[in-house]
């Protein structure tokens, strides 16, 4: 299966994943289900899991690009923090003939950073699609219906391949949200980054279920559990590579000080006895 | 209906509510549905709503206790911050004959504070049941099944009336959690107070829905909305009258500092470019 070529079917893509961690494995399952061919490479050896899934696993990026079968889409799914090193180490002489290069797609949870990096490092002839599926193995467990796929067509000349790739998410009934990388990062700092921060803060506090949990507290326990299933590298990436995150963290700290002041503000001049 | 006496039915109670705000109205609906008689008094005039509900409303506490029909249960549902003033102003000469006083029940979201206050202010012959329904108009909208009713029988001699009152919650399939007021306050500071604090902090930050909300962020928006439906007085009471809350707020602030430090901690000595 892994050796069949995308040219055999007009809608079937041959997707080469770099960074085959939790999130890439989660995406690959749906891609395989839809009939695409998935090959992968990663820092660590994921060959056992890969062969069980039906994914051909290569021990190095060089090996993956040495195969005779053409890769239509290179899917970059490494941690945010490792992307620069990985992308800079790509075997540029083996990516494909100029004019017939694969489409480069990233799935990083920040978007200006990979856009800039890919524009800077990839050959000018390579097409670039920056995407962020706003869901993961937990929130997308029951399917992807209605969940947002944010994307920007950063540099697309081969509309056909790009459309086929986006079709993967359309087929699953994702909400397709075309947004600039900048808009993504602004909104993500105010929403996803704050959500992760609260999950991490709750995890530092070591909160736990009691015999008298309110429903609100139960949702916080759930949030804490879902957040800490993601790696701390992912969270750190959200902060270090989204230029809007710092300000939102400061707003959060300010909001806590404001709430504290309001709490201490004793109404009617009455003191707690 | 409001003039019928509890003596007409062995399980029907005549409940006199002091503090007929949002939460008391919510409780009263279920009490009425179960066939109990509810009368009420409050600082503000709630007579229109009361008469629509089938609750006899008195403009003063004195008036409520001047009726000939005996009140079996006095339900205290004023804000935490106003309780001391209200309880100290009770017409002690009109509460009932010694040996035949009503059962005093409070529903405050803190428990040591009303326990101490009621023990200090009420006649020694009055029975006291301290309760905290761990739900409200939002979380209890679809019924009370499985939701916790925390209580301590602080001073109960008339087991019969106390049992009939608790039966209201058992009938609705609440989870009955008998806990000391101290245990309640310890756990509530770590759970409910932190939940309210996060809701208040989010509300200070003015977070809003985006076209790309993750599920986690949506639960935070929901939490913010539910928290701010409660009065700020309620939240302030959770802090000012629960001696364990201060430490939990400090832990929250410390946890944020810890998370911030971990965020700034650049792994492998690599700097964000
Ligand atoms: N988890 C989610 O729900 C989610 C949702 C949307 C987008 N994303 C994005 O998807 C990407 C992957 O996320 P993830 O959840 O799988 O976890 P992650 O911790 O962000 O990334 C793990 C992946 O990065 C690779 N990696 C880590 N350090 C590396 C290094 N120094 N050199 C080379 N590769 C390295 C790992 O390789 P090995 O496994 O081989 O060690 C693994 O494939 C991230 O960019 C993340 O922002 C995640
Ligand atoms: N909301 C919930 O989900 C919930 C759940 C469990 C327990 N509780 C507890 O139930 C009690 C009532 O809560 P709530 O949600 O209705 O809101 P609240 O703001 O805590 O209390 C409002 C009630 O307090 C009365 N009140 C406020 N200030 C007063 C004053 N200076 N003098 C006399 N009465 C005063 C109000 O009277 P008027 O309406 O007449 O102005 C109203 O009846 C609180 O002790 C709260 O901790 C609430």
Residue nearest to ligand 2 atom 42, measured at CA? B21
What three-state secondary structure class fits B194?
Answer: helix
The 3 state secondary structure assigned to B87-110 is HHCCCHHHCCCCCCCCEEEECCCC
Whether A182 has a pLDDT exceeding 70, the answer reads yes
In this prediction, residue A140 has a pLDDT band, given cuts at 50, 70 and 90, of: very high
Compute the Cα dihedral for A23, A25, A30, A35 and give only its sign: positive
Q: Quick one: what percent of chain B has pLDDT higher than 90?
A: 89
Ligand 1 nearest atom to the CA of residue A45, by list position: 40
Chain B interface test: which of A114, A139, A197, A215 (most B C-beta within 10 Å): A215
Burial tier of B200 (Cβ tally within 10 Å: 0-12, 13-18, 19+): buried
Least reliable range by pLDDT among A234-248, A252-266, B39-53: A252-266
Whether A7 has a pLDDT exceeding 80, the answer reads no
As a dihedral over the C-alpha atoms of residue A90, residue A92, residue A93, residue A94, rounded to 10 degrees, the angle is 60
- List the single residue in A177, A192, A207 with the smallest CB-CB distance to B214: A192
In this prediction, residue A206 has a pLDDT band, given cuts at 50, 70 and 90, of: confident
What DSSP state is assigned to residue B142?
T
- List the single residue in B177, B194, B198 with the smallest CB-CB distance to A212: B177
Specify the pLDDT at position A160.
96
**pLDDT digit string (tens) for A67-92?**
888 899 999 999 999 999 999 999 99
CA distances from A16 to A24, A61, A77, A158, B165 (A): 11, 10, 10, 17, 66
In this prediction, residue A96 has a pLDDT band, given cuts at 50, 70 and 90, of: confident
Residue A231 Cβ inside 6 Å of ligand 1? The answer reads: yes
Specify the pLDDT at position B267.
60
8 Å CB contact between B119 and B154: yes
For residues A34-43, average pLDDT: 98
Whether A173 has a pLDDT exceeding 60, the answer reads yes
Residue A160, H or E segment: helix A159-171
Ligand 1 centroid–CA A23 distance in Å is: 7
Specify the pLDDT at position B97.
85
Residue A84, H or E segment: helix A83-88
8 Å CB contact between B76 and B19: yes
| Residue-averaged pLDDT of chain A | 93
Specify the pLDDT at position A272.
43
Using alpha carbons only, how large is chain A's radius of gyration in Å?
22
- In whole angstroms, what is the distance from residue A127 CA to residue A99 CA? 10
Place of tokens 């990062």: A185
Ligand 2 nearest atom to the CA of residue B231, by list position: 19
Answer whether B255 sits within 8 Å of A202, measured CB to CB.
yes
Better-scored residue on pLDDT, B232 or B269 = B232
Specify the pLDDT at position B10.
61
Specify the pLDDT at position A2.
38
**pLDDT digit string (tens) for B207-231?**
999 999 999 999 999 999 999 999 9
Whether A4 has a pLDDT exceeding 60, the answer reads no
Closest CA to A214 of B251, B227, B168: B227
**pLDDT digit string (tens) for B117-132?**
999 999 999 999 999 9
Specify the pLDDT at position A268.
54
Residues of chain A found within 8 Å of residue B220, distances taken between Cβ atoms:
194-195, 198, 223
What three-state secondary structure class fits B233?
Answer: helix
Residue nearest to ligand 1 atom 21, measured at CA? A79
């Amino acid at each position: 299966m892994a050796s069949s070529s995308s040219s055999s079917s007009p809608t079937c893509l041959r997707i080469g994943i770099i960074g085959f961690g939790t999130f890439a494995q989660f995406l690959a399952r749906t891609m395989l289900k839809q009939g695409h061919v998935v090959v992968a490479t990663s820092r660590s050896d994921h060959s056992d899991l890969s062969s069980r899934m039906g994914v051909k696993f290569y021990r190095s990026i060089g090996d993956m690009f040495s195969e005779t079968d053409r890769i239509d889409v290179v899917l970059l799914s490494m941690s945010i923090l490792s992307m620069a090193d990985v992308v800079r180490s790509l075997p540029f002489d083996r990516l494909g003939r100029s004019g017939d290069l694969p489409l480069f797609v990233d799935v990083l949870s920040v978007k200006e950073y990979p856009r800039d990096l890919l524009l800077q490092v990839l050959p000018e002839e390579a097409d670039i699609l920056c995407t962020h599926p706003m869901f993961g193995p937990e929130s997308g467990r029951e399917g992807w219906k209605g969940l947002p796929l944010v994307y920007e067509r950063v540099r697309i000349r081969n509309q056909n391949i790009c459309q086929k790739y986006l079709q993967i998410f359309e087929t699953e009934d994702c909400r397709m949200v075309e947004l600039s990388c900048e808009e993504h990062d602004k909104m993500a700092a105010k929403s996803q980054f704050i959500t992760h921060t609260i999950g991490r803060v709750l995890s530092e506090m070591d909160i736990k279920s009691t015999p008298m949990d309110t429903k609100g507290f139960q949702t916080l326990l759930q949030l804490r559990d879902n957040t800490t299933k993601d790696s701390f590298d992912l969270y750190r990436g959200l902060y270090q590579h989204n230029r809007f995150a710092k300000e939102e963290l400061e707003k959060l700290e300010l909001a806590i000080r404001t709430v504290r002041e309001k709490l201490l503000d004793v109404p009617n001049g009455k003191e707690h006895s």
